[in-house]
Chains A and B, each alone.
Chain A
Amino acid sequence: MDVLFQQLFNGLTVGSVYSLVALGLTLVYGILHIPNFAHGALYMVGAYITYTMMTSLGLHYVFAIVVSIISVGLISVLMERIVFHPLRDSTPIQHKVAAIGVLLFLEALAHYIWGADYQQMVTPYGQVIEVFGLTLTMQRILIVVTAIVAMILLYLFLKKTYTGASIIAMAQNREGAHLMGINTNKVAMLTFFIAGVLAALGASLTSPINLVFPSMGHLVILKAFVIIIIGGMGSIPGAILGGYILGFSESIGATYISSDYSDIIAFVLLIIILTIKPQGIFAKGEA
């Protein structure tokens, strides 16, 4: 029984990070209407900036994360301005090619600046504590709590403020939003900023229990795709729920089936869910 609870908690940790990354991807999907392949690169850059702030400038982990999420948010906005905005009237395939281009560029840049080596990020929250017979590290608790707080803040922002609601409105009908006096340029930039922040936050939180390397975004972004497909493209509750479903399935699968197969579980899950419900769990209507 202890093993089960331990694994459920691990699933919660992993799922929290997946949800953060998938949320950014699903928000940007509302603007671009294609999955942004470069999102995984933002995740990777986020981890590196936090790492560099800690090792080179000696910043505290928390401050390093703050610097990282703001920087990656701005990189994300820059990407929208110089790559996607000029392509706004072109075909989806051009967006996809551009997104892959940005991905390759950022990865090559990471190789150039930080090299190909695996880096270890040290957290000041490595303490181990016992709660109800479970052995937890402070870092994992930090991941879960921070992710949930971030999601609640995002939810309140989207639901309770005009600026947040304009993001949802633009995703549902871009011209409709424009005709209501919403500045769609500003909304697009804001959405990319939030997506960058969420990616950097997810990466910085999970790096101390994983490793930092140029291709660290690959598997995460593939899984984030699976999550937003499972959850329904563009759906916000779908991204959160999908993230946790995947996190739990992986950690349970790793324990009771084989840890060698933990990464394949995401894709098996994808096949099963797409077979049963091809539109995803929180599928949108025709409109």
Chain B
Amino acid sequence: MLSLRDVSVQYGNYTAIQNINIEVRSGEIVVLLGANGAGKSTTFRTISGLNKPATGDIFFEGSSICSLTPDKIVKAGIVQCAEDRKLFPEMSVQENLMMGAYVHRRKKKEIKHTLEEVFELFPILHEKRNQAAGSLSGGQQQMLAIGRALMSKPELMLLDEPSIGLAPLIVEQMFESIQQINQDGTTILLAEQNAHAALSIANKGYVYENGNIVVEGSSKELFANEEVRKAYIGA
């Protein structure tokens, strides 16, 4: 479905990621593991078209998306839920969700239907639908960010550290929701530091270090890998 081939990205002279190769197949949950600054978010920004790769190419369902602008990439079916959530803080929860459906803005009925589905997945958003997004708690904001991304009915959802800064109980719920979204038919590429939780729902994973992928394999293989266990799972 999505494949990155030898992608490198530079910020000025600094190479943020180097020769990255990633394969995501339809229906999978794929996780990118790695410390802060290892290049996970840069990879996401590049897939979404906010950064342009210096070398390499990105294919989505067989065609290159490297030359597309971010809005065209959303239309093609890839949506990103960024690490800092990027909500519209003064808009209400419902207005934020409606903006998520921007690419489908002419299909009013479908939007209404998707909105109901999102409210079903995150009932708290329905309860708080008239509150400003900026007034929500961290966990609720993350749910809103995911819900807003779902409103574009993506084929592939990029989730950048959805568990960051959340209480353990909320993190557990968050991963359950992610699994639910995947079962409902959305392919997921997930960046996480919480390796244990992420690998337990993922099909396979890639481990980042200093802008390179150092280990890759199925979840089982990564769980069994001694170095990965030491560095990211801590057991």
Contacts and interface: CB of A to CB of B under 8 A. Distances in A.
Interface in B83-113: 85-91, 95, 98-100, 102-103, 105
A173 interface: yes
B7 interface: no
B1 to A, nearest CB: 19
Interface string A132-148: 00000000000000000
A205 interface: no
B52 interface: no
A178 B89 contact: no
B80 interface: yes
Contact of A179 (B48, B91, B95, B134): B48
A165 B95 CA distance: 9
A184 B103 CA distance: 13
A287 B134 contact: yes
Contacts of B99: 165-166, 169, 177, 180, 182
A33 interface: no
Contact of B152 (A169, A181, A183, A287): A181
B100 A172 contact: no
B114 to A, nearest CB: 14
Given A169-B91, A172-B91, A287-B134, A179 B102 contact: no
A238 to B, nearest CB: 12
Name, among A166, A176, A181, the residue most crowded by chain B CB atoms within 10 Å (CB to CB): A181
A179 B90 contact: no
A90 B152 CA distance: 31
A89 to B, nearest CB: 12
Interface string B115-149: 00000000000000000001000000000000010
B162 interface: no
Interface of B: 48, 50, 69-71, 74-75, 79-80, 82, 85-91, 95, 98-100, 102-103, 105, 134, 148, 152
Given A176-B88, A180-B102, A287-B90, 12 more contacts: A162-B105, A166-B99, A172-B90, A172-B91, A178-B71, A179-B50, A180-B79, A180-B152, A181-B75, A181-B103, A183-B69, A287-B134
